[in-house]
Amino acid sequence: MRDHEQIGKVIGVNSDLVTVEMAEPVMQNEMAYIVSGEYRLKSEVIKIQGSLVEVQVYEDTRGIRVGDKVIFTGELLSAELGPGLLGQVFDGLQNPLPKVAERFGFFIPRGTSLDALDRKRKWGFVPSAREGDTLSAGHFLGHVQEGVFTHYILVPFHLRGQYRVRTIADEGDYAVEDTVAQIETREGVSLDLTLMFHWPIKIPIRAYRERLRPSDTLITGIRIIDTFFPIAKGGTYCIPGPFGAGKTVLQHITARHAEIDLVIIAACGERAGEIVEVLREFPKIEDPRTGRSLMERTVIICNTSSMPVAARESSVYTAITIAEYYRQMGLDVLLLADSTSRWAQAMREISGRLEEIPGEEAYPAYLESRIASFYERAGAVVLSNGKTGSVTIGGTVSPAGGTFEEPVTQGTLKVVGAFHGLSRRRANARRFPSIDPHESWSNYPGIISPERLRTAREFLSKGREVEQMMKVVGEEGTSLDDYIDYLKAELLDHVYLQQNAFDRIDGVTSKERQDHVFGFLIHILSSSFTFPDKDVALRFFQSLRQLFIDWNYCEWDSRGFRETEAQLRDFLEGAKGDEKGLHPNT
């Protein structure tokens, strides 16, 4: 970073792309302000060609004229990091949207930006560093209480090398810009540290000791995920699915029940309506742990297609930067991006305007590498104090036309560790969550042994085969044994893969319960039954399904749970005991 501003002059305007002539060199992605009349319009360097610099303006470019002055700040687009981020809703440039709405209505006026962090609010700072301590980037100076979290005040990440603490503030109330520590280099250069600092959003935060291979299963409470296609803490996964397939609902359920500390939502909407929905719905989501609003441990970064393209492009970076910041405190953070297709479209628009050579479907040739470097910012890490933290990233993709054979889905598939493909057919049949059990996969270790999983998978494939066959030859043309296999697969689907997101108990299944229930299902799948005909078989499996679903609605390990399980076992034994077939009296 440069420590001084530089001045250039507008020589051309093409929509939100402005060409500036510069005498001095500037940096890629450096922030600049175009001075247009009374406005200072925020923009970013996106291309440098000799003395000509293309800047992308974050706002409406009306009124910009050739000859206007441009101030290059020498700084990259950065996020404000400090206490007070939780519970907030920001746009891609970290303007707090509720404040924008309060002051200006839905849209922020040109040339305006608001502080992301409240400058007046006081935080009770408790120092932990002492005078004379040697510290470096990411070390703790002390903490404040942010809601239910201990928010550690960190040595800013951009500081290189070691510093000696000269003074540290006493315990007391401080605003984010108040100095709480003075540190100095070996050479005696001294720096004032406050509760907040900045970090450039496109650069990963790496103030940790080491990265770990993601191996701990992140329990989401969603059976088809945890059992079949698990996610790991610090891992990555992608949810592609056509419009209306259930991507957003699935992410909201995950946000609510996953065993993580914080949720960062990057809501990149198609229409303003989708975002209004998020803003209206999200605060209503109850945190099952506290009974209060889930917003207390959430940050939302949102944008709509009516916002300037550069702001849309930057929102996923603002989101990941905030996620990485909290990881540095030893927290497990889940970043959910919905939908990354909108982000890719913003990249496509910018690239088109720069007249770059387009790749597939007019996306820029660097689309895949941008997607990869975004997901690579996920990870489980060991901090310098030995604590661990993680950022898990789950991104939805909404391919036009619903096919997964398109650049954003394919580019994402190459880098993520798990793939939860949503199926239009399952959504139409209201089989939720509509994760396709045949298309999806995961490379992460789950909670169920591979052998038991294999049995379940075999039944699912067999069931699908029989179903396809039945479509051709009809039920009459299908053998009784094949039909029973089909019924077994349907049972597995209805009582295990499908889950009622709106039920307090069925909506979230603990690891222990999944293990127990899945074991029982495997027992059913592996049992052989003799039925006199298909009708009897069908009725038996229908009753079994109903009983099983009742079981799913019983509180784990309650009396009702144990009684229903006993009933299920009796029902099953009755069926197997009758050599000639069975006639369950239901």
- Which one of residues 193, 263, 501, 517 is an interface residue with ligand ADP (CB under 6 A)? 501
251 scored as a contact of Mg ion (CB under 5 A): no
Using the rule CB under 6 A, give the single segment among 242-250, 297-305, 349-357, 551-559 that binds ligand ADP. Answer: 242-250
Radius of gyration of the chain (CA): 28
The item of Mg ion, ligand ADP, none sharing an interface with residue 11, based on CB under 5 to 8 Å by kind, is none
Closest to Mg ion by CB, 242 or 411: 242
Q: Smallest distance, Å, CB 400 to Mg ion?
A: 14
Closest to ligand ADP by CB, 425 or 576: 425
Give φ, ψ of 234 to 5 degrees. 90, 0
Q: Smallest distance, Å, CB 29 to ligand ADP?
A: 31
Using the rule CB under 5 A, give the single segment among 27-35, 48-56, 245-253, 408-416 that binds Mg ion. Answer: 245-253
243 scored as a contact of ligand ADP (CB under 6 A): yes
Residue whose token pair is 């209201």: 430
- Which one of residues 111, 156, 244, 358 is an interface residue with ligand ADP (CB under 6 A)? 244
Using the rule CB under 6 A, give the single segment among 63-71, 155-163, 240-248, 320-328 that binds ligand ADP. Answer: 240-248
Does residue 5 contact residue 73 with C-beta atoms inside 8 Å?
yes
Query: What string of DSSP letters covers 25-52?
Result: ---TTEEEEEEETTEEEEEEEEEEETTE
Q: Which H or E run includes 468? A: helix 450-473
Closest to ligand ADP by CB, 94 or 298: 298
- Return the residues of window 419-448 that contact ligand ADP according to CB under 6 A: 432-433
Token pair for residue 302?
Answer: 């949102």
Closest to Mg ion by CB, 350 or 393: 393
Using the rule CB under 5 A, give the single segment among 243-251, 329-337, 348-356, 439-447 that binds Mg ion. Answer: 243-251
d(CA 538, CA 552): 21
d(CA 403, CA 429): 19
Q: Smallest distance, Å, CB 239 to ligand ADP?
A: 8
How far from each other are the two terminal CA atoms of the chain, in whole angstroms?
A: 76
Tell me how crowded residue 492 is: count the other CB atoms within 10 A of its CB: 23
The item of ligand ADP, Mg ion, none sharing an interface with residue 155, based on CB under 5 to 8 Å by kind, is none
Q: Smallest distance, Å, CB 436 to Mg ion?
A: 17
d(CA 216, CA 380): 9
Closest to ligand ADP by CB, 339 or 514: 339
| Beta strand extents in 304-439 (DSSP E only) | 332-338, 379-382, 388-397, 418-419
Cα dist. 570→205, 491, 563, 564 in Å?
57, 17, 11, 10
Closest to ligand ADP by CB, 240 or 417: 240
The item of ligand ADP, Mg ion, none sharing an interface with residue 249, based on CB under 5 to 8 Å by kind, is ligand ADP
241 scored as a contact of ligand ADP (CB under 6 A): yes
Token pair for residue 559?
Answer: 């009396």
Return the half-sphere exposure (C-beta side, CA atoms, 13 A cut-off) of residue 98. 10
42 scored as a contact of ligand ADP (CB under 6 A): no
Crossing angle (nearest 10°) for helices 247-257 and 272-281: 30
Token pair for residue 145?
Answer: 């209480």
Binding-site size for Mg ion (CB under 5 A) equals 2
Using the rule CB under 6 A, give the single segment among 244-252, 321-329, 453-461, 470-478 that binds ligand ADP. Answer: 244-252
Long-range contacts of 449-456 (CB under 8 A, 24+ apart): 452/518, 452/519, 452/522, 453/227, 453/228, 455/522, 455/525, 455/526, 456/228, 456/492, 456/518, 456/521, 456/522, 456/525
Q: Smallest distance, Å, CB 197 to Mg ion?
A: 34
412 scored as a contact of Mg ion (CB under 5 A): no
Using the rule CB under 6 A, give the single segment among 113-121, 183-191, 241-249, 518-526 that binds ligand ADP. Answer: 241-249
In this structure, the strands spanning 52-57 and 78-81 are unpaired
584 scored as a contact of ligand ADP (CB under 6 A): no
247 scored as a contact of ligand ADP (CB under 6 A): yes
d(CA 336, CA 239): 10
Q: Smallest distance, Å, CB 409 to ligand ADP?
A: 14
d(CA 423, CA 461): 16
- Which one of residues 43, 88, 248, 303 is an interface residue with Mg ion (CB under 5 A)? 248
Could you list the residues that contact ligand ADP (CB under 6 A)? 241, 243-249, 432-433, 501
Could you list the residues that contact Mg ion (CB under 5 A)? 247-248
